[in-house]
Amino acid sequence: MDFENAIIEFLGIQHVKIEGVNIHRNKRQIRVIARQERGECFCTGCGILFDAVKDWKKKRIKAAPLGIYSDVEIIFNQLRGVCNDCGRTETAEAHWIHPQLHSMSCGFAEVAGRLMEEITCEAAARMLHSDSFTMWRLDQWRMEHMEKRLKLPEKLDVSELIADEVHFRTIEIKKRRGLFAKRRVPEFVTNLISPKEGKVISNALGRDSEALETCLLKLTDEQLKSVKKFAVDMHEPFMAVIRTDCPNAKIAVDRFHLVQKVNEAFDKVRRSEFRKAREKKDEFCKDMLEPHRRFILVAREKDLSIAETKLLDKLRDTNKEIHTAMLLVEYFHKALDKASVESFRKALAAWYLVVRESKLEPFLKLCKLIRRYRTEIETYVESGLTTGVAEGINNKIKVLKRMAYGYTNKKSFLRKILQRCGYLNHDYINTDDMFYCVTP
């Protein structure tokens, strides 16, 4: 392969003749002067070769990096031909120029696009000597184009699924009705996740039944029937959709949200005892029940230091209600740790008995919630399925939002989640042909 053909192959361009190459080593720049081949220029109307050349149109096209030379530009002389049959004069097509962003080649667009799957548009622009707005436009076009090609893997394991929401943005309400009306309204995105794959299958704006139904539309009827377990938080709209659309699925309530409810009940007891200690001027109890200590009070014994354990033992001896509440939290954890549903039921019955004898109002209310979702909690105990994978993905999404300084474009945010945490990327969609030519 000679030097001219090598340059053509490396840049991913076709039907051109290289007339010169200018290399600027200090600036890591290459300027390639190319002219379109006369014998490859056809009329788009009748499809025959142009009869004559009217003139040559000079363009500057960003091209893919060549080794250490990250700033590569093609000075392209594009033919404007005359077709006597059609009676028209037009510019000959060059399929290797990007159909949407005419200032770059398809090869450059694909290199930049794959880079933006991992980093921000601003960072990609700095690395490739382009401007961030052009990179953003390319990223939006590429995600939209790839979404048309997106197909879920044939062997996707959907026997277990997770539905969870993540915060998108908070909107200020401009026209409020009443003095005590809400000032801000949060918006969420619902993600449908395969925990075995660790990927987002689909997503939709909102956190209601309609959002989850939209997510489940990506699955076939056979896949919906093959779902055996479905983990959610205690969100009734999600559960209603799962019972309807996934008839064979058992719903598992996530342990994290259960423990959160137990901790909330404990915190109500703590606040009540803190007020009593402040009124009685009990400095020790007041100090131990300060808000910043609430996480230590509900921590499991294995996570505490020796000094913290001694302080908590002293608090137990001093305050009966706090001692009882701490026992209830610990016993509930042990009940959830049971290996079988039968042993869980026995432990839960004993926990109910202690709650009734304690007469602590927050825990009595919690009992009603536990009874309501007992079947779903037993599914968790049996399967061990949680939304832990979803929480990890949510952390990735939050990092994504911080890198972008927040999102306002709804469609862009949904696609970015699928790109970073799902299947909307070149690892799962073969885009090798986009290095050379892209159909508009």
Backbone torsions φ then ψ of 324, nearest 5 degrees: -65, -45
Backbone torsions φ then ψ of 107, nearest 5 degrees: -65, -45
In this structure, are 19 and 107 located in the same domain?
A: yes
pTM of the predicted model as reported, rounded to 2 decimal places: 0.86
Name every residue whose Cβ is closer than 8 Å to that of residue 129 and which is 6 or more positions away in sequence: 70, 71
In this structure, are 265 and 143 located in the same domain?
A: no
- Predicted confidence at residue 340, as pLDDT, reads 92
Q: What is the CATH number of the domain that holds 182?
A: 3.30.420.10
The amino acid sitting at 265 is A
Tens of each residue's pLDDT in the chain, 440 residues: 588 888 888 999 989 999 999 999 998 999 999 999 988 888 887 888 888 888 899 999 999 999 899 999 999 999 988 888 887 888 888 999 999 999 999 999 999 999 999 999 999 999 999 999 999 999 999 999 999 999 998 889 999 999 999 999 988 877 777 767 777 889 999 999 999 999 999 999 999 999 999 999 999 999 999 999 999 988 899 999 999 999 999 999 988 889 899 999 999 998 888 888 888 888 888 787 888 777 777 777 677 777 777 777 777 777 888 888 888 998 999 999 998 999 999 999 999 999 999 889 999 999 999 999 999 999 999 998 888 899 999 999 999 999 888 888 899 999 999 999 999 999 999 999 999 887 76
Q: Is residue 431 part of a domain?
A: no
In this structure, are 246 and 394 located in the same domain?
A: yes
Q: State how far the alpha carbon of 3 is from the alpha carbons of 18, 37, 105, in Å.
A: 10, 17, 20
- Predicted confidence at residue 323, as pLDDT, reads 86
Three-class DSSP category at 343: helix
Q: Which of 148, 174, 200 is the C-terminal boundary of a domain?
A: 148
The amino acid sitting at 114 is R
Element (H or E) spanning 322, and its range? helix 320-336
Element (H or E) spanning 231, and its range? strand 229-232
CA gap 363, 88 in Å, rounded: 83
Q: Is residue 432 part of a domain?
A: no
In this structure, are 235 and 344 located in the same domain?
A: no
CA gap 201, 388 in Å, rounded: 16
- Predicted confidence at residue 326, as pLDDT, reads 87
In this structure, are 8 and 132 located in the same domain?
A: yes
Q: Is residue 430 part of a domain?
A: no
Task: Kindly state the tokens that stand for 326.
Answer: 């701490």
Domain of residue 356: give its range. Answer: 255-383
Q: Which of 124, 148, 172 is the C-terminal boundary of a domain?
A: 148
Neighbours of 18 (CB within 10 A): 19
In this structure, are 364 and 240 located in the same domain?
A: no
In this structure, are 191 and 306 located in the same domain?
A: no
Is residue 182 a contact partner of residue 173, using CB atoms and an 8 Å limit?
yes
Name every residue whose Cβ is closer than 8 Å to that of residue 144 and which is 6 or more positions away in sequence: 415
| Vertex 124: Cα angle to 123 and 130 (nearest 5) | 110
CA gap 106, 98 in Å, rounded: 5
Name every residue whose Cβ is closer than 8 Å to that of residue 268 and which is 6 or more positions away in sequence: 361, 362
Number of domains into which the chain is organized: 3
Q: Is residue 429 part of a domain?
A: no
Length of the chain: 440
In this structure, are 402 and 270 located in the same domain?
A: no
In this structure, are 263 and 287 located in the same domain?
A: yes
- Predicted confidence at residue 440, as pLDDT, reads 60
Q: Is residue 154 part of a domain?
A: no
Q: Is residue 293 part of a domain?
A: yes
The secondary structure of 147-181, three-state, reads HHHCCCCCCCCCCEEEEEEEEEEEEECCCCCCCCC
Distance separating the N- and C-terminal Cα atoms of the chain: 32
| Vertex 298: Cα angle to 296 and 300 (nearest 5) | 90
In this structure, are 248 and 394 located in the same domain?
A: yes
In this structure, are 397 and 364 located in the same domain?
A: no
In this structure, are 210 and 331 located in the same domain?
A: no
